[in-house]
């Protein structure tokens, strides 16, 4: 029965939601990445650094999201158009500091009340729950500004949270501007904040660039607010790993390992077996159903979906691939493929875009499939290329069959009917059709349709030219082997004729004996 809302709950539902603006800072170059790619576009298990940050902010349901772009602005804009089309990119042509960046962001949005959430673009492990908790704490306390902080084992390079004797925030100081005593502090600024919009705007106008880097620091807003007697707060993250930034590729690799463990743990807790979590890399965008088994050295990427009780791995990479329930995929690579329920792939198969295996179909060893449907229970077990084909249910494609789909200009399709049988080492030269229940003889090159139930065969009759090796390859190991074989055969023939002679002599003697003996009672005496 649907519970009726209590009056207070009703009040909560109808109360004005806070106007929220999210500002993501993504204009920096990330010099230490030493990359042509802007730092925030580096990928990390299924999303860019920027994509992870935007995802963490999504549940805030902000009225607007502003992304400050600068270095590689065009690349970042293009990426945003794909992953967050409603976000508003704002250009910071010169990177004059995080305070300057937020000022430019707010210049681009209409004056308004509410909460401004600022997130550095390079903190990809940040969870949505943590951002939400920061914003709740900030709005609940009616603070002018709240900073997300964390106690970290190694605070090197980060801004420190400086508190007074009573534990209240006094200021945030950058390491390069800090005193030795401040540097000893291990409570750091994570680069994630909630601000009251009006008081943030007022403070941004007062920032100076009087510091070691000559930049306008967003963090100085806290000191300014404290001096003005405004309430500021510190929200401490439960897990400091969430606040880790990314400044170089070594840190990126560390973040990737941490995220891998987080993702793997999540799937194991929902009933997925991951046999070797250290070598299993699952993008955050992947879905895996219960009782699936992911064996070692396996990467599941993009929009990949693995069905219940499927077995994937070891040594498998699946990109944007759907694996049906109970299917198995072993030592194979697939991209944009569909593997039906109970189907079997590999070892050593390569499924390319639009390879579609129906229920219980099999694609075996050293088989490549592209843009083809393989019917229910159909088999392509060994050494084949299947391109632009439709293969009917229960058809059997023999080893070394090539679907010859490309004439150098155009691609053509091949259709194989239900329960057709293609002999080994066949070329099916498209466009061509083999009817239901038809057979194709091994070693054929099929250029014309084979009617249902017919046998298609294009083999040339065989010739064996006797003695060719002895004449044309004299002195080789082959010639010697052939000579031995010929000699052995001749000797065997001679022995056989001796035996025949002996046997016929023996038979004559036997018959002679029989002639003088009375007939035996019904027994067969000829094969003694
Ligand atoms: C910043 C904080 C520091 C904090 C750390 C957490 C300041 C002054 N310091 O330092 O207290 O501990 O983050 O990781 O804010 N950016 C712009 N425009 C600019 C400058 C930076 O968009 O003009 C962006 C960068 O792309 C980056 C973010 O802001 O995404 C932070 O900049 P970064 O240079 O990495 O600041 P940190 O020195 O790490
Ligand atoms: Mg940084």
pLDDT in tens, 125-159: 999 999 999 999 999 999 999 999 999 999 999 99
Nearest CA to ligand 1 atom 13: 191
Buried residues in 81-118 as b, exposed as e (16+ CB within 10 A):
eeebeebebbebeebbbbbbbbbbbbeebeeeebbbbb
- Residue 367, strand partner residues: 349, 384
Q: What is the pLDDT of residue 505?
A: 78
C-alpha pair distances (Å), 403 with each of 36, 413, 498: 41, 9, 54
Give the helix/strand (H/E) hosting 8.
helix 7-14
For residue 1, pLDDT over 50 is answered with no
Q: Is the CB of 27 under 6 A from ligand 1?
A: yes
Q: What is the pLDDT of residue 521?
A: 42
Nearest CA to ligand 1 atom 8: 217
Tell me how far the alpha carbon of residue 191 lies from the centroid of ligand 1, in angstroms: 7
Tell me how far the alpha carbon of residue 275 lies from the centroid of ligand 1, in angstroms: 39
Q: Is the CB of 121 under 6 A from ligand 1?
A: yes
The C-alpha angle with vertex 352 and arms to 347 and 357, in degrees rounded to 5, equals 70
Q: Which residue out of 18, 79, 138, 382 is catalytically annotated?
A: 382
Q: Is the CB of 120 under 6 A from ligand 1?
A: yes
190 pLDDT band (50/70/90 cuts)?
very high
Q: What is the pLDDT of residue 23?
A: 98
Q: Average pLDDT of 334-345?
A: 99
| Cβ 220 vs Cβ 162: under 8 Å | no
Say if residue 19 is exposed, middle or buried (CB neighbours under 10 Å; 0-12, 13-18, 19+).
middle
DSSP 55-121: HHHGGG--SEEEEEEBTBHHHHHHHHHHH-TTSEEEE-SS---HHHHHHHHHHTS----SEEEEEET
- CB neighbours of residue 16 within 10 Å: 6
Tell me how far the alpha carbon of residue 492 lies from the centroid of ligand 1, in angstroms: 90
Tell me how far the alpha carbon of residue 244 lies from the centroid of ligand 2, in angstroms: 9
Q: What is the pLDDT of residue 111?
A: 74
Q: What is the pLDDT of residue 523?
A: 37
* Percentage of residues in the chain having pLDDT higher than 70: 93
For residue 9, pLDDT over 70 is answered with no
163 pLDDT band (50/70/90 cuts)?
very high
What contacts 165, CB < 8 A, 6 or more positions away?
none
Cα–Cα distance measured from residue 256 to residue 3, given in angstroms and rounded to the nearest whole number: 44
Cα–Cα distance measured from residue 138 to residue 161, given in angstroms and rounded to the nearest whole number: 17
- Residue 109, strand partner residues: none
Ligand 1 atom nearest the C-alpha of 218 is 15
Q: What is the pLDDT of residue 409?
A: 97
237 pLDDT band (50/70/90 cuts)?
very high
Q: Average pLDDT of 255-263?
A: 98
Residue 366 gets the label, from left (phi > 0), alpha (psi -120 to 50) or beta, of left
State which of 56, 120, 149, 162 you would mutate to test the pocket of ligand 1, scoring each by most atoms of that ligand within 8 A of its C-beta: 120
Tell me how far the alpha carbon of residue 393 lies from the centroid of ligand 2, in angstroms: 57
Cα–Cα distance measured from residue 208 to residue 364, given in angstroms and rounded to the nearest whole number: 67
Nearest CA to ligand 1 atom 16: 28
Q: What is the pLDDT of residue 162?
A: 98
For residue 468, pLDDT over 70 is answered with yes
**Higher pLDDT, residue 391 or 523:** 391
| Cβ 260 vs Cβ 45: under 8 Å | yes
Catalytic residue list contains 412 = no
Q: Is the CB of 38 under 6 A from ligand 1?
A: no
Q: Is the CB of 345 under 6 A from ligand 1?
A: no
Residue 437: φ, ψ to 5°? 70, 5
What does pLDDT average to over the chain? 93
Positive or negative, the Cα torsion across 332, 41, 25, 152?
A: positive
Say if residue 284 is exposed, middle or buried (CB neighbours under 10 Å; 0-12, 13-18, 19+).
middle
Cα–Cα distance measured from residue 267 to residue 298, given in angstroms and rounded to the nearest whole number: 14
For residue 519, pLDDT over 90 is answered with no
**Higher pLDDT, residue 528 or 371:** 371
Say if residue 348 is exposed, middle or buried (CB neighbours under 10 Å; 0-12, 13-18, 19+).
middle
What contacts 183, CB < 8 A, 6 or more positions away?
155, 160, 175
Ligand 1 atom nearest the C-alpha of 213 is 8
Q: Average pLDDT of 372-379?
A: 98
| Cβ 428 vs Cβ 406: under 8 Å | no
Q: What is the pLDDT of residue 502?
A: 85
The C-alpha angle with vertex 246 and arms to 242 and 248, in degrees rounded to 5, equals 150
State which of 24, 28, 41, 248 you would mutate to test the pocket of ligand 1, scoring each by most atoms of that ligand within 8 A of its C-beta: 28
Q: Which ligand is nearest to the CA of 39?
A: 1
Q: What is the pLDDT of residue 510?
A: 65
| Three-state SS at 516 | helix
State which of 24, 49, 70, 191 you would mutate to test the pocket of ligand 1, scoring each by most atoms of that ligand within 8 A of its C-beta: 191
Residue 318: φ, ψ to 5°? -120, 125
DSSP state of 150: E
Tell me how far the alpha carbon of residue 190 lies from the centroid of ligand 1, in angstroms: 10
* 280-282 and 311-312 beta bridge pairing: unpaired
C-alpha pair distances (Å), 215 with each of 10, 94, 247: 48, 11, 18
Ligand 1 atom nearest the C-alpha of 245 is 14
| Three-state SS at 309 | coil
For residue 192, pLDDT over 90 is answered with yes
Task: Note the pLDDT tens digit of each residue in 349-374.
Answer: 999 999 999 999 999 999 999 999 99
State which of 67, 93, 94, 98 you would mutate to test the pocket of ligand 1, scoring each by most atoms of that ligand within 8 A of its C-beta: 98
- CB neighbours of residue 419 within 10 Å: 16
Q: What is the pLDDT of residue 385?
A: 98
Residues whose Cβ atom is located within 5 A of ion ligand 2? 245
Q: Is the CB of 243 under 6 A from ligand 1?
A: no
Cα–Cα distance measured from residue 241 to residue 437, given in angstroms and rounded to the nearest whole number: 61
| Cβ 19 vs Cβ 60: under 8 Å | no
Query: Token pair for residue 291?
Result: 């009782």
Q: What is the pLDDT of residue 2?
A: 38
Q: Is the CB of 326 under 6 A from ligand 1?
A: no
For residue 176, pLDDT over 50 is answered with yes
Cα–Cα distance measured from residue 346 to residue 323, given in angstroms and rounded to the nearest whole number: 13
Q: Average pLDDT of 228-235?
A: 98
Task: Note the pLDDT tens digit of each residue in 46-62.
Answer: 999 999 999 999 999 99
Q: What is the pLDDT of residue 110?
A: 81
For residue 515, pLDDT over 60 is answered with no
For residue 116, pLDDT over 70 is answered with yes
Task: Note the pLDDT tens digit of each residue in 303-314.
Answer: 999 999 999 999
């Amino acid at each position: 029965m649907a519970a009726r809302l209590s009056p207070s709950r009703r009040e909560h539902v109808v109360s004005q939601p806070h106007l929220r603006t999210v500002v993501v800072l993504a204009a920096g170059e990330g010099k230490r990445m030493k990359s042509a790619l802007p730092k925030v576009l580096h990928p990390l298990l299924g999303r860019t650094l920027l994509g992870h940050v935007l995802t963490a902010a999504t549940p805030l349901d902000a009225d607007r999201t502003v992304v400050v772009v600068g270095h590689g602005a065009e690349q970042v804009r293009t990426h945003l158009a794909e992953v967050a089309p409603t976000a508003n990119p704002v250009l910071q042509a010169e990177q004059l500091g995080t305070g300057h960046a937020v000022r430019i962001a707010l210049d681009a949005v209409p004056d308004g009340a509410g909460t401004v959430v600022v997130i550095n673009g390079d903190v990809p492990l940040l969870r949505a729950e943590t951002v939400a908790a920061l914003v709740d704490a900030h709005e609940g306390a009616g603070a002018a500004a709240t900073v997300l902080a964390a106690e970290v084992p190694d605070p090197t390079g980060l801004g420190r949270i400086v508190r007074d004797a009573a534990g209240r925030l006094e200021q945030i100081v950058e390491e390069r501007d800090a005193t030795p005593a401040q540097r000893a502090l291990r409570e750091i600024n994570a680069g994630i904040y909630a601000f009251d919009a009006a008081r943030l705007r007022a403070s941004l106008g007062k920032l100076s660039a009087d510091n070691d880097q000559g930049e306008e620091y967003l963090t100085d807003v806290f000191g300014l607010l404290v001096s003005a007697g405004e309430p500021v707060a510190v929200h401490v993250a439960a897990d400091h790993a969430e606040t880790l930034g990314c400044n170089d590729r070594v840190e990126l690799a560390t973040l990737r390992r941490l995220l891998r463990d987080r993702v793997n743990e999540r799937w194991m807790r929902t009933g997925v077996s991951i046999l070797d979590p250290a070598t299993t890399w699952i993008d955050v965008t992947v879905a895996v159903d219960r009782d699936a088994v992911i064996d070692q050295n396996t990467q599941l990427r993009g929009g990949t979906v693995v069905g219940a009780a499927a077995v994937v791995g070891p040594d498998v990479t699946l990109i944007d691939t759907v694996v049906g329930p109970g299917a198995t995929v072993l030592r194979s690579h697939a991209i944009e493929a569909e593997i039906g329920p109970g189907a079997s792939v590999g070892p050593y198969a390569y499924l390319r875009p639009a390879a579609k295996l129906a229920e219980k179909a099999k694609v075996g060893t050293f088989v490549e499939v592209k843009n083809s449907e393989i019917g229910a229970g159909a088999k392509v077990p060994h050494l084949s290329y299947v391109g632009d084909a439709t293969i009917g249910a229960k058809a059997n494609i023999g080893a070394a069959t090539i679907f010859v789909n490309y004439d150098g200009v155009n691609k053509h399709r091949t259709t194989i009917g239900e329960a057709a049988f293609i002999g080994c080492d066949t070329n099916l030269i498209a466009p061509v059709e083999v009817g239901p229940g038809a057979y194709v003889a091994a070693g054929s090159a099929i250029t014309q349709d084979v009617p249902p139930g017919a046998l298609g065969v294009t083999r040339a009759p065989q010739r064996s030219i006797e003695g060719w090796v002895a004449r044309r390859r004299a002195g080789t190991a082959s010639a010697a082997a052939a000579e031995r074989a010929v000699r052995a055969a001749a000797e065997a023939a001679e022995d056989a004729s001796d035996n025949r002679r002996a046997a016929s002599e023996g038979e004559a003697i036997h018959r002679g004996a029989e002639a003088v003996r009375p007939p035996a009672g019904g027994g067969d005496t000829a094969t003694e």
